[in-house]
Amino acid sequence: MLYRASIGTVALLMAAAAATSVAWAWDDAQYPDWKGEWFRASPVQWDSTRRPGRGQQAPLTPQYQAIYEVRLAEQEKLGGQDYNPQVRCLPPGMPRAMIGYEPLEIIVTPDVTYMRLQYMQAGPGPWSRHSRDIRSGGGSTKTGTAATTARSRNPRLSRSARGREHRHSARRRQPNHHQGADFPRPIKGRTH
Amino acid sequence: MDYRKLLCAGALAALCASTTGALAFDESIYPDWKGKWDRVGPPRWVQGKDVAPLNAEYAAIFAKTTAEQKAGGFGWETSWMCMPPGMPRIMNAYEPMEIVITPDTTHILISHIHDNRRIFTDGRDWPKDLEPSYKGYSIGKWLDTDGDGRYDTLVVETRNMKGQRSYGTDGLPLAADNRTIVQERIYQDKADPKFLLDEITTFDDALTRPWTITKKYEHDPKPPVDWIEEVCAENNPHIRVGHDNYMLSADGLLMPSKPNQAPPSLKYFK
C-alpha cells in the first residue's frame, strides 16, 4: 500500500513537472542551429548562376524590359545609378535584401524568426550606414518558410555590372582603456 | 518487486527529463520582456534639474553647438545626416524598442539609424582586436537580485565606440577620443512592472565624473502587429556640402539653412 502511494505521488509530481516544463521551456533542440554569421556565397547579382545585367535573362514584361534597358544604358554610358535606391542610402527592400551584402544573422525564437541583415551602404561619403531587420512569422521550423512582413516602397533588383562593394572602414584599434582611478571596476575585470 | 521496477523506471524517466532540460532554453528563468517598449518622456538625456557634468573644454563645445543650432546649424550633432546615434544615445529609444532574449545574446532592436544592439551574455571576454562602432561592443550578465531563482536584472558594459557622438539632438557632446564606457542596469520597475528602467552610467573624457541617469520605457499591452520601418534617408531634406549644412526645398532645389548663408562652391560644374 505504501509502495502504491509512493508510485502515485512520483507519477503525479513527474506529470506536473513535465507539464510545467512544456509550458515554460522552449526546446531549441527541435529547431535548426542557425546561430552565427552567414556569409553570401555567391556574387551580388540576383541569379548568381547567370552573368549580371542582360545575362540575368529576367522574365520581365516588355514594359519593364524597356525600363531596364534605359537603366542599363544610363549605367553604361553615363556612369549614373540614379535608379538605384542604395546610392541614396535607401534600403534595397525585399527580395533584394536576401542578397546578403553583409553577413546575415538568424535569431530563432518560438514566436518570431528574425533575419538581421546589417550592411554598409556606400553612398555620397562615409555617412551612410543602415541596418534592417526582417521580422518573419508563421514559418515551418524545418524549412524556414515564412511570411515576410517588412518591405520597402521601391525595391529594385541588384545592381549589375558595377557592383559596388560595401566595406567596413579598414581602421582598427584596440579597445578603450580609461586611466582614472575613481572609476569603478567594469563587469569583466578591466582596470581603468 | 514490480513496484521496484516501476520506481526504477520513474527514476530513469526523471533522468531523461533532466537531460532534455539541458538542451532546452528555459525561458522561465528569464524575465518576460516581449512586446513593444515605448520611451517615456522626451528623448533628452538631461532630466529635470540635472546638469550635464561636462568639463570646461566640452562645456565650451556645447555652448558653441547651442549657438550654431540657434543660427540654423547643428554643431556637434550628426543625426541630421543620418549618422547613427551610437551609445549611449541609442537608449533614448527614438522608436519603439523590442528586446529579444536568448541564452547567449540579448538583442535590443530599435528601427532608427543603426540602433540595434547585441548584448553578449555567453560569458565571453572583450575581443582583443575589434573595429570600433557607434553602438560599441556590449557584454552583459543576468542577475537574480531577489534570489527567487529567476533572473530579473541585466547588467551591461559597452566599450569600443567611435564618434562623433552626442546624447541627443541638442548636441550635448561625448568626447572625441571615443574612450567612452557605458554601464547599464536594466530591470522592470517592481512597483509597476509595466515600466522598464535602464540606469545608465556614462564614463567619458568630456565629463568631470561618471554620469548616471535613468531611462524609463513603458510596455505597450497591445500585441505587436507591425513595427515601424524608419528609414532616415527617405525624404531627408538636409544636405551636407563640405563642412556646412544646406536644405533641399520641396521643389528639389538647394536652399540655405541659415540666414545669409553663402552657396556651396560650384568649382566642379565649370
Q: Is B152 exposed, middle or buried (0-12, 13-18, 19+ CB in 10 A)?
A: middle
The residue with greater pLDDT, B234 or A82, is B234
Model-level ipTM above the cut of 0.90: no
Confidence class of residue A8 from pLDDT cuts 50, 70 and 90? low
pLDDT value at position A140? 32
Pick among A133, A136, A148, A185 to test the B interface (most B CBs inside 10 A)? A133
Nearest to B231 by CA among B12, B54, B91, B82: B82
DSSP states along A156-191: -PPP-TT-------S--BPPP----TTSPP-TT---
Partner B contacted by A89 (CB < 8 A): yes
Nearest to B75 by CA among B258, B263, B262: B258
**Three-class secondary structure of residue B169 per DSSP:** coil
Span A147-172, pLDDT tens digits: 333 333 333 333 332 222 232 232 33
Q: Which of A50-64, A115-129, B82-96 has the lowest mean pLDDT?
A: A115-129
Averaged pLDDT score across all residues of chain B: 90
In degrees, rounded to 5, the angle at the alpha carbon of residue B143 between the alpha carbons of residues B174 and B187 is 60
State how far residue A49 is from chain B, nearest Cα, in angstroms.
32
Q: What percent of chain B has pLDDT over 90?
A: 76
Euclidean distance between CA atoms B138 and B198, whole angstroms: 15
What are the C-alpha distances in Å from A1 to residues A4, B10, B231?
A: 5, 18, 71
B138 touches B255 (CB < 8 A): no
The residue with greater pLDDT, B122 or A145, is B122
Nearest to B74 by CA among B64, B65, B62, B85: B65
Tell me how crowded residue B240 is: count the other CB atoms within 10 A of its CB: 18
Pick among A20, A188, A191 to test the B interface (most B CBs inside 10 A)? A188
Span B138-165, pLDDT tens digits: 999 999 999 999 999 999 999 999 999 9
pLDDT value at position A89? 85
Cβ–Cβ gap B24/A169 under 8 Å: no
Which candidate from B17, B130, B139 shows the least CB-CB separation from A187?
Answer: B139
Cβ–Cβ gap A178/B210 under 8 Å: no
B224 touches B212 (CB < 8 A): no
What are the C-alpha distances in Å from A131 to residues B159, B201, B229, B253?
A: 20, 26, 11, 29
Chain B residue whose CA is closest to A25:
B26
Euclidean distance between CA atoms A128 and B113, whole angstroms: 10
What interhelical angle do B2-23 and A2-24 show, nearest 10? 10
Is the pLDDT score of A37 beyond 80? yes
The residue with greater pLDDT, B265 or A5, is B265
Is the pLDDT score of B15 beyond 60? no
Q: Which three cell numbers stand for residue B53?
A: 557634468
Pick among A30, A174, A176 to test the B interface (most B CBs inside 10 A)? A176
Span A72-108, pLDDT tens digits: 988 888 877 878 888 888 888 889 988 988 899 999 9
Confidence class of residue B104 from pLDDT cuts 50, 70 and 90? very high
pLDDT value at position A20? 42
Cβ–Cβ gap B234/A90 under 8 Å: yes
What are the C-alpha distances in Å from B220 to residues A64, A70, B40, B141, B153?
A: 43, 48, 11, 26, 20
Euclidean distance between CA atoms B35 and B175, whole angstroms: 34
State how far residue A130 is from chain B, nearest Cα, in angstroms.
5
The residue with greater pLDDT, A37 or B48, is A37
Cβ–Cβ gap B10/A14 under 8 Å: yes
pLDDT value at position B149? 95
Span B188-211, pLDDT tens digits: 999 999 999 999 999 999 999 999
Is the pLDDT score of B17 beyond 50? no
Confidence class of residue A117 from pLDDT cuts 50, 70 and 90? confident
Is the pLDDT score of A133 beyond 60? no
